[in-house]
Amino acid sequence: MAVASGAPTITVTFEPEWDAEAEHAGRTGFFAADPRVRTLLRVLLSYPEVRYVVQDRISLDARAGAALLDTLAHFLERQRWLVRRVDIG
């Protein structure tokens, strides 16, 4: 996983069947109403290096090191009920 210069981002591809259900409810990705996703979002936002989160992407500030990016990516990959793929860019 390569890290681009500047502000790194983590892009998440969600499981299609789960994402379709959330889209039907009007809130997708990290903003889904499911309590598990809301808890996941709170955990992600607890990291001081996280600048912002949008539906399928997490932006971190430039001081975020490779170790933190790998930790977050592996944490997200373990959420197999939700996440299909995680990319660091």
pLDDT at 20: 64
Residue 3 has pLDDT above 60, yes or no: no
CA–CA gap between residue 25 and residue 29 (Å, rounded): 11
Residue 19 has pLDDT above 80, yes or no: no
- Average pLDDT value for residue range 48-66: 95
Range in 1-10, 14-23, 53-62 with the lowest mean pLDDT = 1-10
pLDDT at 13: 95
Give whichever of 3-7, 17-21, 56-60 has the largest mean pLDDT. Answer: 56-60
